[in-house]
Chain A
Amino acid sequence: MTEAMVVGQWTSMPEVHDIVTGKARYCPDIQLPGMLTGKLLYSPHARARIMRLDVKKARKLPGVFAVLTHGDIRGENSYLYAHPDQPLLAIDEVRFQGDAVAAVAAQDEQTADAALQAIEVEYELMPGIFDPLEAMQPGADQVVQGEDNVIMAKTYRTGDVEAALSCADVIIENTYRTQWAEHAFLETEGGVGLVDDDGVITVYSTCQAPHRDRMQIARALAIPESSVRVITPYIGGAFGGKDEAHVQIHVGLLAHAAQRPVRLIRGRKESMLTHVKRHPIIVECTTAATKDGRLLAVKARAIADAGPYTNSTHEVLNKFGEFIGGPYKVENLEVEKIGVRTNNPITGAFRGFGAPQAAFVYESQMDDLARKLGMDPLEIRLRNGVETGTKMYTGVVVREGTAMKATLRKAAEMIGWEKRDQGERRPDRHLRRGWGMATILKGSGLGRGLSDHAGVVLEMHRDGSVVLQSGAADMGQGIVTVMAQLAAERLGVGLSSVRVIRADTARSPDAGASCASRQTIMSGNAVLKAADSIRDTLLSLAAGKTKISKDRLDLKGGRLHVDGEPHEISVRDLAQGAGNRGYPLHAESLYHFEYPTDVPEVSYRYSQEVFQFCTQVAQVLVDCETGQVTVERLVAVHDAGKMINPGGVYGQIEGGCAQGIGYALTEELILKEGHTQNASLENYVIPMALDLPELEIEVLEIPEPIAAPLGAKGIAESPIIPTAPAIRNAILDAIDKPLYELPMTAERVLS
Chain B
Amino acid sequence: MHYYKRRSLLLLITNLFIVISGYTQELYPSSEPASNMSSKSIGVRLGTQLSQGVNNTNLLRINPELMWGINKKWMLHIDEFMGNVYQNQFDIEQFSIYTKYRFLSIDDVHSHFRMAMFGRVTTGYNSMMSDTMTLNYMSGYTSGIVITQLVHKVAVSGTLSYYENWNSTGASVNYIASAGYLLFPRHYSKYKQLNINLYFELLGKKMMTNKNNFVDIAPAVQFIINSVARIDFVYQTKISKSSARNYNSLALLKLEYNFLNAY
Query: Is chain B a partner of chain A in the same complex?
Result: no
B interface residue numbers (CB < 8 A to A):
none
